[in-house]
Amino acid sequence: MIPGFKYFPEYLNKDEQKSLLEKLRNKIQQNPLFEPQMPSTGKPFSVKMTNFGSLGWVSDKNQGYRYQATHPSTKSPWLPIPDILLKLWNDLADYPEEPECCLLNYYHNEKSKMGLHRDEDEEDQIAPVFSLSLGDTAMFKIGGLTRKGPSNFIKLASGDVVILGGKARKAYHGVDRILHGSSQLLKHGGRINLTMRRVTPPKIHTL
């Protein structure tokens, strides 16, 4: 496995997962899920999304991939990242600054997946990418620094944490498919992936 890739299976127990899910449901009522679009074509993603934090990741036909401070539909600021997720970041990320974005991806049907990609829209490329899975198991694909390099598959179950840091920060990765029915956490099935990122570089303090 590429250096900097960390995997923490079942890091959140079932009660912790249920507690977090309830907090997310309350926030989604104000931060509703939306369908991002592919740049140029305008084709909708196969996952639905929302964000928490001072910045949120969005994409549409006209402006492409980017971070912005407001929800694309409601135009309201994103709600804060839940405290339990900030604690996980502080415990595991090994990075002195807190995340500015928590992207929620909802894999809601059998067609939902995420192609191989790298997270490159952040100014801060040193901070790790932190990922937490809730709900149905995902077949997670982790490759190398080139799109055509060798890849490995890992089954990410509910409560699992993955961190892409070091060299793995620039590794290609994606979700090949969801094993529907593998978890009873979500009422209607599917998978939630919570990805925390630091977007802007830390400020340098001078006397």
Helices (H), the chain: 14-30, 83-92
Q: Report the Cα 111 to chain-centroid distance in Å.
A: 18
Listed in sequence order, the residues at least 6 apart from 148 whose beta carbon sits closer than 8 Å to its beta carbon are none
CB burial string 1-15: b at 16+ within 10 A, e below: ebeebbeeeebbeee
Average pLDDT over residues 113-122: 86
**Domain spans in the chain, listed from the N-terminal domain onward:** 5-197
- Hey, which bits of 59-201 come out as E strands? 66-68, 101-107, 114-117, 129-135, 137-142, 152-156, 161-164, 173-179, 191-197
The Cα-based distances of 110 to 51, 61, 156, 179 in angstroms read: 23, 24, 16, 8
Quote the pLDDT of residue 204: 61
Query: pLDDT, tens digit, for every residue of 61-79?
Result: 988 899 999 999 999 999 9
CATH value of 5-197 in 2.60.120.590, 3.20.20.140, 3.40.50.2000, 2.40.170.20: 2.60.120.590
Q: Which has more confidence, 4 or 205?
A: 4
Coil, strand or helix at 146? coil
* Residue 207 binned pLDDT confidence (cut-offs 50, 70, 90): very low
